[in-house]
């Protein structure tokens, strides 16, 4: 079945540091890939997405590129801020009759001033 594997957290960085959160997936066909962010006590917000190979999703300084050859969708940001502290989820969605998102377990990011 489909699965998403994210790097284990928690990740702790200083402000202005470079961020990478690794995400790899297993799925048949060509899924769409997503990064969601969850702030404490809140629901999930879409951060960025990519729907086909080599697409780059970007938003708020975050970027991720859909790499079919390595089945990866790593999240990066050049300079993190304290306000980026949250849990980040990688997810995929295949077409067909099952419409669910398959999520990774999430990575907790803490950015210290």
Q: Does 49 bind another protein (CB under 8 A)?
A: yes
Query: In angstroms, what is the minimal distance from the CB of 49 to another protein?
Result: 6
Phi, psi of 67 (to 5 degrees): -110, 100
Selected from 18, 20, 105, 112, the binder of another protein by CB under 8 A is 105
Other CB atoms within 10 A of residue 48 CB: 19
Buried b (16+ CB within 10 A) or exposed e, 18-36: ebebbbbbebeeebbbbbb
Q: Does 62 bind another protein (CB under 8 A)?
A: no
Q: What mask of x and - would describe binding to another protein in positions 64 to 103, judged by CB under 8 A? A: -------------------------x-x-xxxx--xxxxx
User: By the criterion CB under 8 A, which residues form the site for another protein?
Assistant: 4, 31-32, 34, 36, 41-46, 49, 51, 89, 91, 93-96, 99-106
């Amino acid at each position: 079945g489909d699965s998403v594997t994210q790097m284990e957290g928690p990740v702790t960085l200083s402000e202005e540091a470079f961020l990478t959160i690794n995400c790899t997936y297993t799925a048949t066909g060509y899924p769409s890939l997503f990064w969601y962010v969850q702030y404490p006590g809140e629901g999930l917000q879409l951060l960025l997405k990519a729907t086909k190979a080599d697409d780059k999703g970007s938003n708020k300084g975050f970027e991720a590129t859909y790499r079919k050859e390595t089945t990866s969708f790593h999240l990066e940001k050049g300079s993190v801020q304290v306000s980026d502290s949250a849990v980040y989820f990688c997810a995929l969605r295949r077409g067909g009759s099952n419409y669910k998102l398959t999520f990774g377990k999430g990575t907790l990011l803490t950015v210290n001033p």
